[in-house]
A and B are shown apart, each in its own frame.
Chain A
Amino acid sequence: MAEAGLLVSTRKGLLVGRSSAGRSEWEWSGLQFSGWVINYTVRDARSGAIWCAAHHEQWGARLHRSDDEGATWRETGMPAFADGQRSLESVWTIEPGARDGLLFAGVMPAALFRSDDDGASWQEIESLSIHPFSEYWMPGAAGLMFHHLNVDQHDPDRLVVGGSATGIFASYDGGKSWEPRNSGLRSDHMPPDLQHMAPCVHSMFAHPKQRGRIWQQNHFGQYRSDDDGETWIDVGEGLPGEFGFASAIDPSDPDVCYYIPLDSDQSRMPRGGSLGVYRTSDAGKTWTRLSAGLPQSGFHQGIFRHALGQDGGDPLGLYMGSTGGEVYASNDAGERWSLIRSHLAPVTAVRAWRME
């Protein structure tokens, strides 16, 4: 029976879960980093290390690393701006690269950092920060940051990154140069002539098995690209709304994607208080609503951008955290869901891995 590990980041700390009985029962750590906002926690499949991006409104941002699946932690090197002007507010995502010791971090204010020594030191990738399009970047409700880094796991020089509201940039030389990848995206927050300058990406995943395929939840719609973001295809027909934050892919099938449409950017909650996850298995032509076990009335919460995760198992395990501090899990690719945690602070991120 497949089992999984689960990292639940919240506004008030981190929980580490471990499943048993075929991902139907869960054992939990105590609350770690109590009181700190945990933006993102992820496991590095290469080394098994877990990286945790924390920040505290008073005491700033920190990165922590665990080499024993979350039992103990140590503070690591921290990205920092060297220009004496900008100050790093928080790390929003951290992703391993395709070479030992290579890591990337997306931060607020919007910038990208890389580490070549497994997080001991970090350097800003300044070529992105000074890209001519950066003049048009503008903060969303949460600020201005890069929060989704698609790092090719075979080519260390190949990156596709996105943020709010920065639009999408691709690099094929390890970050020396960048190409905007916004063609075909709608940007209702910009005048007609500037639609391609700074779309508002909410979540974005490149598929590991089909180079060039990327799924995206945007502020203004759901999109698929088959050419590394050169062009984007609107796949939102059949979904109940264009707005949403979270998405997830199935790493074994490039045609599968999951979205959680929300009822407009004015409410940012599921329509009618009814929570549903939508899955396509045909590259976005049709959508199936998955809701068994999820609240179908009275659910007046949101789902943040990193709060839908998958474990890569077969069948796929899916995990979803809410702004009301609930965590739902499915061990059958979303067909049935169970509430596995409640009474937490707002869940900011959920990431999982399959245990061998």
Chain B
Amino acid sequence: MMGIEVHLARGLRVHVEAPAIVAVSGASAREAIDDLVRLHPGLDRFVLDDARRLRRHVNVFINDEQIADRDQLSDPVTDGDRIHILPAVSGGTGEEP
């Protein structure tokens, strides 16, 4: 069984100890990411918000396609797929305390 590969960006692994590539299983992006955070719990807060949506400034690609459903993560995945989790370039801070 080939499984699904989750590729973790270096910018994420600066903060959380995890390998660059994690083998997971699942039939949707949700199931694959749930499996990822089960294997590496420290990743959970970095990838998902309180409502279990993708964080606003986190990008997920399935192979070379940007994920379509950032809230429910219902995009289908299958064995042999690569999921890339990447920090967006939009993360600059603009707020004024």
Query: 1/0 per position for B32-51, CB-CB distance to A under 8 A?
Result: 00000000000001100111
Residues in chain B near residue A143, CB distance under 8 A = 95
Are A37 and B93 touching (Cβ within 8 A)? yes
Does A289 lie at the interface of the complex (its beta carbon under 8 Å from any beta carbon of B)? no
Does A62 lie at the interface of the complex (its beta carbon under 8 Å from any beta carbon of B)? yes
Are B97 and A60 touching (Cβ within 8 A)? no
Residues in chain A near residue B52, CB distance under 8 A = 84
Measured CB to CB, the closest approach of chain B to A48, in angstroms, equals 26
Residues in chain B near residue A81, CB distance under 8 A = 50-51
Q: With A58-B11, A59-B46, A84-B52 in contact, do A11 and B93 touch (Cβ < 8 Å)?
A: yes
Provide the bound-state CA to CA distance between A58 and B9, in Å: 12
Majority SS at the chain A contact face: loop
Residues in chain B near residue A271, CB distance under 8 A = none
Residues in chain B near residue A142, CB distance under 8 A = 95-97
Are A57 and B57 touching (Cβ within 8 A)? yes
Residues in chain B near residue A78, CB distance under 8 A = 45
Does A207 lie at the interface of the complex (its beta carbon under 8 Å from any beta carbon of B)? no
A-facing residues in B16-46 (Cβ within 8 Å): 45-46
Are B92 and A87 touching (Cβ within 8 A)? no
Does B88 lie at the interface of the complex (its beta carbon under 8 Å from any beta carbon of A)? yes
Which residue of chain A has its CB nearest to the CB of B12?
A: A59
Measured CB to CB, the closest approach of chain A to B31, in angstroms, equals 18
Provide the bound-state CA to CA distance between A59 and B15, in Å: 9
Provide the bound-state CA to CA distance between A78 and B57, in Å: 20
Measured CB to CB, the closest approach of chain A to B15, in angstroms, equals 6
Provide the bound-state CA to CA distance between A306 and B53, in Å: 31
Which residue of chain B has its CB nearest to the CB of A39?
A: B97
Provide the bound-state CA to CA distance between A81 and B53, in Å: 13
Are B97 and A59 touching (Cβ within 8 A)? no
Provide the bound-state CA to CA distance between A287 and B80, in Å: 72
Provide the bound-state CA to CA distance between A159 and B20, in Å: 47
Provide the bound-state CA to CA distance between A173 and B56, in Å: 37
Does A141 lie at the interface of the complex (its beta carbon under 8 Å from any beta carbon of B)? yes
Q: With A57-B57, A84-B52 in contact, do A62 and B91 touch (Cβ < 8 Å)?
A: no
Are A349 and B97 touching (Cβ within 8 A)? yes
Does B58 lie at the interface of the complex (its beta carbon under 8 Å from any beta carbon of A)? yes
The residue that B51 contacts in the complex, of A58, A85, A348, A349, with Cβ under 8 A, is A85
Does B55 lie at the interface of the complex (its beta carbon under 8 Å from any beta carbon of A)? yes
Query: 1/0 per position for B79-97, CB-CB distance to A under 8 A?
Result: 0000000011011110111
- Count of interface residues, chain B, beta-carbon cutoff 8 Å: 22
Are A58 and B45 touching (Cβ within 8 A)? no
Residues in chain A near residue B12, CB distance under 8 A = 59
Which residue of chain B has its CB nearest to the CB of A79?
A: B50
Are A58 and B93 touching (Cβ within 8 A)? no
Measured CB to CB, the closest approach of chain A to B8, in angstroms, equals 12
Q: With A58-B55, A88-B50 in contact, do A306 and B97 touch (Cβ < 8 Å)?
A: yes
Measured CB to CB, the closest approach of chain B to A147, in angstroms, equals 8
Does A86 lie at the interface of the complex (its beta carbon under 8 Å from any beta carbon of B)? yes
Q: With A58-B57, A58-B91, A59-B15 in contact, do A87 and B49 touch (Cβ < 8 Å)?
A: yes
Which residue of chain B has its CB nearest to the CB of A36?
A: B15
Q: With A85-B51, A88-B50 in contact, do A58 and B97 touch (Cβ < 8 Å)?
A: no
Q: With A58-B58, A304-B97, A349-B97 in contact, do A80 and B50 touch (Cβ < 8 Å)?
A: yes
Residues in chain B near residue A348, CB distance under 8 A = 97
Supply 23 A–B pairs (Cβ within 8 Å), ascending by A. A11-B93, A56-B91, A57-B90, A57-B92, A58-B55, A58-B57, A58-B88, A59-B45, A60-B46, A78-B45, A81-B50, A81-B51, A84-B51, A84-B52, A86-B51, A87-B53, A88-B50, A92-B97, A141-B95, A142-B95, A142-B96, A147-B97, A307-B97
Interface residue ranges, A against B (CB under 8 Å): 11, 37, 39, 56-60, 62, 78, 80-88, 92, 141-143, 147, 304-307, 348-349
The 6 residue pairs across chains A and B that have the minimum distance between CB atoms: A57-B91, A87-B49, A58-B91, A58-B57, A80-B50, A142-B96
